């Protein structure tokens, strides 16, 4: 403001004087800065009509460069959401609609597997775009990795807590397929899961975050209050780095994996 008032003192003083008479102004000035990009400032002068005996003028200075960067980010986000994100979604919808064709009854196993591979490919593209969008709005957040000493190989009794029963069944199938000696119990109600913990102590809990009644964060808090020293691995669809950082504040949480749970992710737990 001092630089502007020195260079444009006469014009600026005239605008301020008119502002005291009840007028409002918005002006933009581009300032040259040595060895840097130009600075574009928007200056808004507004009369404050609170006390007739003591007239005031509010002067607001807005860094239009920062504003432009935010608009550019929103434009980029909008383009990804409306174009790149929609493409695989429409492809998945088209592929899934094939299931309603009468000819599907005559499809052999090989053709059905090929169709499922196509659906999987489109789903992976969709997942990549969602991750790209997340990175776009979380550029400065890079949470540290978990320093886990967890080994699922030593966990004989594993507890699955997820309100999606299909997810529980899939996770149960993946774990037991490669670890035959595991006892795996599953709950689609976090309330029932907490009741189970009053009488039982599993070695490991695979916990979802977004659940009705009692969400994952409340579940972790109640687990701490019960003084249950049980290792927890969060299995969530979220890729928000803020959630990962928050999870690291809980001593019980040993790792944070994104859905879907795969054999490679189970192997990661075993290797750790």
Statement: residue 186 has pLDDT above 90: yes
| pLDDT score of 200 | 92
Where does the pLDDT of residue 216 fall: very low under 50, low under 70, confident under 90, or very high at 90 and above?
Answer: very high
Output 261 or 225, whichever has higher pLDDT. 225
| pLDDT score of 48 | 79
Where does the pLDDT of residue 104 fall: very low under 50, low under 70, confident under 90, or very high at 90 and above?
Answer: low
- Average pLDDT of the residues of the chain: 76
Statement: residue 192 has pLDDT above 90: yes
- Report d(CA 74, CA 80) in Å as an integer: 10
Find the mean pLDDT for residues 110-139. 74
Statement: residue 185 has pLDDT above 90: yes
Domains and CATH numbers, the chain: 2-63 (no CATH), 85-137 (no CATH), 152-271 (3.40.50.2300)
| pLDDT score of 234 | 93
Q: Are 256 and 244 in contact (CB under 8 A)?
A: yes
User: Of the spans 25-29, 41-45, 54-58, which averages the highest pLDDT?
Assistant: 54-58
What tokens were used for 183?
């006892």
Non-local (6+) Cβ contacts of 24 within 8 A are 44, 45, 46, 47
Q: Are 8 and 27 in contact (CB under 8 A)?
A: no
Beta strands in the chain (DSSP E): 25-31, 39-48, 56-63, 157-161, 183-187, 204-207, 231-236, 253-258
Percent of the chain, pLDDT > 90?
17
What pTM value is reported for the model? 0.56
| pLDDT score of 7 | 64
């Amino acid at each position: 403001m001092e630089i502007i008032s020195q260079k444009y003192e006469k014009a600026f003083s005239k605008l301020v004087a008119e502002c005291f008479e009840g007028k409002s102004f918005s002006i933009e000035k581009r300032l040259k800065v040595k060895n840097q990009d130009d600075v574009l400032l928007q200056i808004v002068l507004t009369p404050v009509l609170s006390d007739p005996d003591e007239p005031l003028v509010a002067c607001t200075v807005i860094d239009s460069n920062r504003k432009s960067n935010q608009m550019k980010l929103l434009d980029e986000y909008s383009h990804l959401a409306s174009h790149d994100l929609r493409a695989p979604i429409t492809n998945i919808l088209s592929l899934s609609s094939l299931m309603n064709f009468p000819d599907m009854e005559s499809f052999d196993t090989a053709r059905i597997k090929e169709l499922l591979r196509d659906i999987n490919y489109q789903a992976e593209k969709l997942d990549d775009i969602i991750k790209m969008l997340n990175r776009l709005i979380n550029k400065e957040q890079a949470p540290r990795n978990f320093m886990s000493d967890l080994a699922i190989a030593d966990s004989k009794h594993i507890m699955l807590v997820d309100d999606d029963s299909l997810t529980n069944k899939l996770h149960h199938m993946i774990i037991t397929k490669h670890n035959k000696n595991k006892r795996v119990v599953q709950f689609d109600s976090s309330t029932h899961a907490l009741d189970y913990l009053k009488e039982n102590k599993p070695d490991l809990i695979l916990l979802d975050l977004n659940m009705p009644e009692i969400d994952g964060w409340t579940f972790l808090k109640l687990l701490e209050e019960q003084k249950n020293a049980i290792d927890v691995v969060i299995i969530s669809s979220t890729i928000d780095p803020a959630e990962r950082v928050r999870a690291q504040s809980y001593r019980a949480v040993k790792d944070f994996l994104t859905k879907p749970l795969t054999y490679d992710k189970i192997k990661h737990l075993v290797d750790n």
